[in-house]
């Protein structure tokens, strides 16, 4: 194992010489937060096969324990998103207490209006009035769960769409969506927000009712200030510049949050930053540029692991977000502004790559030491026996509820 701490003095000297406000960068890194998803701890897979992982969490209690473990190792993952009904319990107040005892708080509530039989033709956009009502009732129930768990985010993703030309009316579906969202919006607990997620295709293959950020943004504008857009980094067509979308939404005050993951082809839900580190860096660069304008952005991971160890994958994702943020924090923004004003195309570009190519590992080791968490969380994970212990306690059975591919 490389002793990155030993390299910190040299890096600190270099960054200070470059004009970086090192104490400011360190303070920002100590305040970074990434929410992990309960469903990332359970077994999941593809439509071809779900490979059971030894020790994968089988219920919400084990998911909270795992989320608490990831937070203990990283220090920057203090909350966990729930998926309802996968994580449904009878006593939400007790679950809230349990999560606090595990060292994490309950974050976003993610309703599920895509797995029940009645949703074959959609949920809020279904042509059936009865199905629309059922979907609305579930979303309203999730607003109540938010109040009981202290969650302040209702994170909405709809599988709604059509598979064949002529199957349904696009405009009628749009009206149904707007109607349903308005009702749900009226049930949001005070001081909470509705995040509207978009995805360009899948499971629908002809049209999707919320296919892109513009559609989600238009809906948010109609609903009011408590509605914002959620950007899932795996939900765009190839070649989309996500950082530019992020900049636009931040500037309009409508960026609610992220679902971070990486993708090569479609909605692959791979480890954050594993295929796209420069893209992730550019996203964080826009967030740093926005200053206080990014204060309320919710940073969440949305992954499903098929062949890799769940916990190690989650820790790696959190750490990759941390590295991307660190690199974005050390961009020389004064010089960048000058280069941009002067029309210095490659000068501006080089200022970004300069930060991106900086090896921030010694800085992160230093920050982790200051925060009292392991300097190398992955090494600690591999040594400390938690995963082994869970494997022997929990076994390798595929759990029933939850995301099974």
Half-sphere exposure of residue 247, counting CA atoms within 13 Å on the CB side?
9
Q: Which is nearer to ligand RM4, 369 or 404 (CB)?
A: 404
The residue from 35, 66, 168, 267 that contacts Mn ion (CB under 5 A) is 267
Does 35 participate in binding Mn ion (rule CB under 5 A)? no
The residue from 35, 62, 232, 286 that contacts Mn ion (CB under 5 A) is 232
Residue 110 interface partner, choices Mn ion, ligand RM4, none, CB cut-off 5-8 Å depending on type = ligand RM4
CB-closest chain residue to ligand RM4: 157
* Chain position carrying tokens 């004009």: 19
Which 3 state secondary structure label does DSSP give 144?
helix
- 39 φ/ψ angles, rounded to the nearest 5 degrees: -70, -15
Q: How many CB atoms lie within 10 A of CB 10?
A: 10
The residue from 66, 98, 212, 232 that contacts ligand RM4 (CB under 6 A) is 232
Residue 19 near residue 332 (C-beta atoms within 8 A): yes
The residue from 53, 86, 157, 217 that contacts ligand RM4 (CB under 6 A) is 157
Peptide bond into 228 cis (omega under 30): no
Residue 365 near residue 8 (C-beta atoms within 8 A): yes
Closest CB 121 distance from ligand RM4, rounded Å: 18
The residue from 62, 197, 209, 212 that contacts ligand RM4 (CB under 6 A) is 197
Q: Which of 10, 4, 2, 1 is nearest to 369 (CA)?
A: 4
Q: Which is nearer to ligand RM4, 66 or 302 (CB)?
A: 302
Does 110 participate in binding ligand RM4 (rule CB under 6 A)? yes
Does 62 participate in binding ligand RM4 (rule CB under 6 A)? no
Sequence-distant (≥ 6) Cβ neighbours of residue 184 within 8 angstroms: 136, 139, 140, 143, 154, 156, 194
Does 259 participate in binding Mn ion (rule CB under 5 A)? yes
Residue 262 near residue 236 (C-beta atoms within 8 A): no
- Partnered with residue 155 across adjacent β-strands are 195
Residue 209 interface partner, choices Mn ion, ligand RM4, none, CB cut-off 5-8 Å depending on type = none
Q: How many CB atoms lie within 10 A of CB 302?
A: 27
Q: Which is nearer to ligand RM4, 63 or 285 (CB)?
A: 63
Closest CB 151 distance from ligand RM4, rounded Å: 15
The beta-strand segments (E) located in 85-180 are: 105-111, 153-156, 161-162
Residue 62 interface partner, choices ligand RM4, Mn ion, none, CB cut-off 5-8 Å depending on type = none
Does 193 participate in binding ligand RM4 (rule CB under 6 A)? no
Residues 249-308 that bind ligand RM4 (CB under 6 A): 259, 267, 302
Closest CB 249 distance from Mn ion, rounded Å: 16
Helix axes 129-149, 92-101, angle to 10 degrees: 50
Q: Which is nearer to ligand RM4, 81 or 318 (CB)?
A: 81
Chain residues binding Mn ion by CB under 5 A are 232, 259, 267, 302
């Amino acid at each position: 194992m490389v002793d990155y701490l030993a390299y910190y003095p040299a890096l600190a000297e270099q960054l200070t010489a470059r004009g970086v406000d090192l104490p400011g960068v360190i303070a920002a890194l100590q305040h970074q937060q990434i929410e992990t998803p309960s469903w990332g701890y359970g077994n999941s897979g593809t439509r071809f096969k779900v490979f059971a992982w030894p020790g994968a969490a089988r219920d919400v209690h084990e998911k909270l324990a795992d989320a608490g473990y990831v937070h203990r190792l990283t220090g920057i993952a203090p909350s966990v998103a729930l998926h309802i009904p996968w994580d449904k319990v009878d006593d939400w107040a007790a679950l809230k207490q349990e999560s606090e005892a595990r060292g994490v708080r309950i974050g976003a509530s993610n309703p599920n209006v895509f797995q029940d039989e009645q949703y074959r033709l959609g949920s809020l956009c279904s042509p059936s009035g009865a199905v629309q009502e059922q979907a609305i009732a579930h979303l309203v129930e999730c607003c109540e769960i938010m109040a009981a768990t202290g969650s302040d985010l209702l994170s909405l993703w709809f599988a709604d769409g059509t598979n064949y030309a002529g199957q349904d009316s696009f405009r009628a579906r749009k009206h149904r969506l707007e109607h349903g969202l308005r009702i749900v919006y009226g049930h949001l607990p005070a001081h909470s927000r509705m995040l509207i997620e978009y995805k360009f295709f899948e499971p629908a293959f002809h049209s999707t009712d919320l296919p892109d950020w513009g559609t989600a943004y238009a809906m948010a504008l109609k609903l009011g200030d408590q509605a914002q857009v959620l950007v899932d980094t795996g939900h765009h067509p190839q070649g989309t510049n996500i950082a530019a979308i992020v900049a636009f939404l931040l500037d309009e005050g409508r960026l609610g949050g992220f679902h971070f993951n990486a993708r090569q082809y479609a909605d692959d839900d791979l480890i954050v930053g594993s295929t796209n580190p420069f893209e992730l860096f550019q996203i964080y660069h826009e967030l740093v540029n926005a200053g206080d304008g990014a204060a309320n952005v919710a940073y969440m991971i949305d992954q499903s692991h098929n062949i890799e160890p769940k916990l190690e994958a989650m820790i790696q994702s959190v750490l990759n977000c941390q590295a991307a943020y660190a690199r974005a924090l050390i961009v020389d923004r004064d010089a960048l502004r000058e280069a941009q004003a002067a029309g210095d195309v490659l000068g501006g570009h080089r200022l970004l790559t300069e930060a991106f190519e900086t090896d921030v590992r010694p800085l992160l080791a230093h920050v982790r030491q200051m925060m009292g968490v392991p300097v190398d969380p992955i090494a600690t994970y591999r040594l400390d026996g938690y995963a082994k212990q869970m494997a022997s306690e929990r076994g390798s059975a595929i759990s029933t509820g939850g995301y099974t591919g």
